[in-house]
């Protein structure tokens, strides 16, 4: 298969070509590897190949699986595969290779995906830009001087540039939605507990983190969630299954929806750039033209409260994770092998008392209740993803000296002020790549739904994609 053909298909199309015998899985692997060779030197999106896992997947895949033979990239943190390095974007964890699959990784394999490499991440995923000291920055394919977003920045850049149609991501404070918005791809953050986090965790970052993928098309994201959702053995969360498949949901128009929208920042958050406001207003008009009831409205959420939640819930998780990792690696946690803000987060978590952590969990509940009450007035809420279009590399430098934990969290959340609240509440939210700035940079908009209602989001996303297709918009750096 020629590269010029390979990049025109989404993951479901590629799987159908393999099932029909029109192309082989080996041809798709070769195309993906050639695509990496062609553009990755500019992007630094892929930080390592996985030849042993690639060959295992080619031998072991089921031909009837929904994504049989489709090339895939695994994020270097979160869901991991046996014998595939997972270095967490950190010099501290360099060479770390897990001995077992996570449950989600096992489901990726069962779905027929052929993992060909690992994607670039910030250190321990703790940045909304992807520019670690270990790997160096990932470059946005629309403008190489700009950030891909984070922490799934390598995944978003690889999908946007045509290396693969779909790549693994996870989201603990916007880490799927932010890079999707920066790179002009589709990013769905599922509800807490929709995808499994086991067996190492019951929930990631005490419930803030979830796993899924970034895609060019809505239907790939929907079909992937069909393949992976559901609790694994021992999980404490058990969400009701959707009434129909997510793929079926995205292929049909939704009923007329009540869609609230806002371009105003939360109390204490920075003003929203005019281009991001314009994207929301244009999306609101598009939704209205599609028959939905659109009105201005927003929950009352205090920005400092959300920042404090993320600091005081993520910090002790970071502390515990680093101590566990240090024990496994037989080494000490020191500032020498960590970026400055990672050390700040670690030390903050190390100093917190149990009472302070309990207070943070109480704040999570308070924000969740506010959001839950707001969503009794609407079916979906439309907002910006970011406070401004994607920034230059270096603006969000996790090795910046002198920042304490709150200052670093506040800097990230000021850039993505509408994301982390839904990690706290556990609600599903998606970034949809409907817009661009006059100079061609992507601008995503966010839709959020009540807890457990990914189906309505997929249904609207499919309708929006049919009304304003985006898959044929290609960045400056794109596989040719």
Which of the residues are catalytic? 75, 151, 175
- Residue 366 is classified by DSSP as H
Distance CA 132, CA 245 (A): 38
Q: Which two tokens stand for residue 97?
A: 């290779």
Using alpha carbons, list the distances in angstroms from residue 66 to 42, 90, 220, 431: 32, 34, 10, 24
DSSP of 273-292: PHHHHHHHHHHHHHHHHTT-
Helix (H, G, I), strand (E, B) or coil at 201: coil
User: Which residues sit opposite 246 in a β-bridge?
Assistant: none
- In terms of Cα–Cα distance, which of 431, 351, 426, 339 is closest to 384? 431
- Residue 125 is classified by DSSP as G
Residue with tokens 């990013």: 187
Q: What are phi and psi of 350, to 5 degrees?
A: -70, -30
User: Which residues sit opposite 384 in a β-bridge?
Assistant: 445
Distance CA 436, CA 444 (A): 8
Distance CA 410, CA 393 (A): 18
């Amino acid at each position: 298969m020629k590269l010029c053909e390979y990049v025109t298909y989404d993951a479901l199309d590629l799987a159908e070509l393999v099932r029909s015998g029109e192309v082989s899985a080996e041809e798709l692997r070769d195309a993906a590897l050639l695509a990496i060779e062609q553009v990755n030197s500019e992007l630094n999106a892929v930080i390592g190949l996985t030849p042993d896992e690639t060959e295992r997947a080619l031998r072991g895949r089921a031909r009837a699986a929904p994504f049989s033979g489709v090339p895939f990239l695994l994020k270097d943190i979160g869901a991991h595969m046996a014998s595939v390095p997972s270095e967490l974007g950190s010099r501290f964890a360099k060479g770390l290779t897990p001995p077992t699959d996570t449950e989600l990784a096992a489901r990726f394999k069962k779905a027929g995906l052929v993992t060909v490499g690992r994607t670039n991440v910030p250190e321990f995923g703790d940045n909304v830009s992807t520019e670690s000291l270990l790997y160096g920055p990932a470059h946005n394919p629309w403008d190489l001087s700009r950030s891909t977003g984070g922490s799934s920045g390598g995944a978003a850049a690889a999908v946007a540039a045509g290396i693969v149609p779909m790549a693994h991501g996870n989201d603990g404070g916007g880490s799927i939605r932010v890079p999707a918005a920066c790179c002009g791809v589709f990013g769905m953050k599922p509800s807490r507990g929709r995808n499994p986090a086991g067996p190492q965790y019951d929930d990631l970052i005490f419930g803030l983190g979830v796993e899924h993928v970034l895609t060019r098309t809505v239907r790939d994201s929907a079909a992937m969630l069909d393949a992976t959702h559901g609790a694994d053995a021992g999980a404490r969360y058990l969400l009701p299954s959707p009434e129909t498949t997510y793929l079926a949901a995205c292929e049909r128009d939704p009923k007329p929806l009540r869609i609230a929208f806002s371009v105003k920042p939360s109390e204490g958050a920075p003003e929203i750039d005019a281009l991001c406001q314009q994207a929301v207003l244009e999306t609101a008009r598009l939704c209205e033209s599609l028959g939905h009831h659109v009105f201005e409205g927003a929950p009352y959420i205090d920005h400092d409260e959300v920042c404090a939640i993320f600091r005081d819930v993520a910090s002790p998780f970071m502390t515990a994770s680093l101590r566990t990792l240090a024990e496994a690696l037989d080494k000490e946690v020191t500032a020498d092998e960590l970026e400055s803000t990672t050390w700040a987060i670690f030390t903050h978590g190390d100093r917190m008392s149990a009472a302070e952590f309990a207070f943070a969990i109480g704040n999570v509940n308070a924000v969740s209740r506010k959001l839950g009450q707001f969503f009794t007035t609407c079916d979906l809420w439309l907002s910006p993803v970011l406070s401004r279009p994607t920034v230059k590399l270096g603006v969000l430098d996790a090795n910046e000296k002198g920042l304490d934990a709150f200052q670093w969290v506040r800097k990230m959340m000021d850039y993505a002020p509408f994301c982390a609240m839904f990690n706290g509440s556990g609600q599903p939210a998606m970034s949809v790549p409907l817009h661009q700035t006059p100079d061609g940079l992507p601008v995503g908009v966010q839709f959020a739904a009540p807890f457990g209602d990914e189906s309505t989001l997929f249904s609207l996303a499919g309708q929006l994609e049919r009304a304003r297709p985006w898959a044929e918009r290609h960045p400056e750096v794109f596989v040719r």
